[in-house]
C-alpha cells in the first residue's frame, strides 16, 4: 500500500494501534494513516531539532504542499558544529574540511561548512529534493514563504513550545563518551586520529564503550566511598 497523503511519523504509531484494535490515547495527536476507510491526512507536518549530544541547537521545520520551511533560532550554531560523534564516525567530514581549507570544494559542497545558518530556509522538495537551493529570499516564492510561516504560527498558537521556552537556559551534556574518546585519540593515539582525519574508517565504538564502562566504574567507586564515610 502506498500512502500519497502527508503524514507524520507518529501517525504510524496510531495506525498500528488501530490495526491491533487498541484504543488511541486521547493525549496523542496522531491519526491512523492506513487501515481506515477515510484517513485524515495532514495539511502540514512540523518537526524540531534541539540538543544533540553536546550541541545546543534549535530549529523548526514545516513540510506542506511539496515545500519545506525551516526557521533557525540559533543561527550562530553552524551545520558542522564540531560534534564529537561526527568527528569519530564520519571520516568523510574531515576530508571535506580539509578540501574546504584548500579551496577545492564547489559552492554547493561548501554549504554544510558555512559558519552560520540562515534565519529561514525554504525548499521546493519536488525540484530540489536534496535541499540545495534556499528560496527564502526569492521574491517569487514570497507567497509560499508567508503561507509556511503561517503554519508555524498556527502550530505555536495551539501548542506549548517547551523547546523555545528553555532556549538559552539548557544544560548540554559534558564529558560524553564521544567527547572523551576524541580527546583520548588526540592525546594518546595521535596516529589513529591522523588516520581519521585522512578519511579512513576507524572502529571507535569499542573504545567509546570501554571509556563509558570506566566512567561508570569510577562513579560507582565514588558512591561506595562516600557512602562509607
Q: What is the mean pLDDT of each run of 10 residues along the chain (229 residues)?
A: 84 93 91 88 95 94 97 97 93 95 96 97 97 98 98 96 91 84 88 91 74 67 48
Instruction: Give the pLDDT of residue 168.
Output: 85
pLDDT value of position 215: 64
The pLDDT of residue 225 is: 40
| CB-neighbour burial class of residue 183 (10 A; exposed 0-12, middle 13-18, buried 19+) | middle
Interstrand relation of 67-72 and 120-124 (parallel, antiparallel or unpaired) = antiparallel
Name every residue whose Cβ is closer than 8 Å to that of residue 114 and which is 6 or more positions away in sequence. Answer: 78, 79
Q: Which three cell numbers stand for residue 147?
A: 503561507
Amino acid at each position: 500500500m502506498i500512502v500519497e497523503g502527508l503524514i507524520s511519523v507518529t501517525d504510524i504509531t496510531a495506525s498500528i494501534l488501530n490495526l491491533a484494535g487498541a484504543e488511541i490515547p486521547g493525549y496523542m495527536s496522531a491519526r491512523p494513516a492506513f487501515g481506515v476507510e477515510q484517513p485524515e491526512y495532514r495539511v502540514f507536518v512540523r518537526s524540531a531539532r534541539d540538543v544533540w549530544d553536546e550541541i545546543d541547537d534549535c530549529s523548526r521545520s514545516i513540510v506542506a504542499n511539496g515545500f519545506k520551511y525551516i526557521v533557525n533560532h540559533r543561527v550562530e550554531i553552524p551545520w558542522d558544529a564540531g560534534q564529537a560523534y561526527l568527528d569519530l564516525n564520519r571520516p568523510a567530514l574531515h576530508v571535506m574540511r580539509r578540501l574546504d581549507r584548500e579551496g577545492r570544494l564547489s559552492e554547493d559542497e561548501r554549504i554544510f561548512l558555512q559558519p552560520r545558518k540562515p534565519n529561514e530556509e525554504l525548499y521546493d522538495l519536488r525540484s530540489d529534493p536534496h535541499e540545495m537551493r534556499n528560496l527564502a529570499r526569492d521574491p517569487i516564492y514570497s507567497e509560499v514563504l508567508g503561507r509556511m510561516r503561517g503554519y508555524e504560527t498556527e502550530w505555536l498558537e495551539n501548542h506549548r513550545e517547551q523547546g523555545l521556552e528553555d532556549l538559552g537556559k539548557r544544560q548540554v551534556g559534558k564529558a560524553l563518551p564521544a567527547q572523551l574518546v576524541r580527546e583520548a585519540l588526540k592525546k594518546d593515539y595521535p596516529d589513529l586520529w591522523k588516520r581519521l582525519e585522512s578519511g579512513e574508517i576507524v572502529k571507535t565504538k569499542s573504545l567509546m564503550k570501554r571509556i563509558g564502562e570506566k566512567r561508570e566504574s569510577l562513579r560507582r567507586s565514588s558512591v561506595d566511598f562516600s557512602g562509607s564515610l
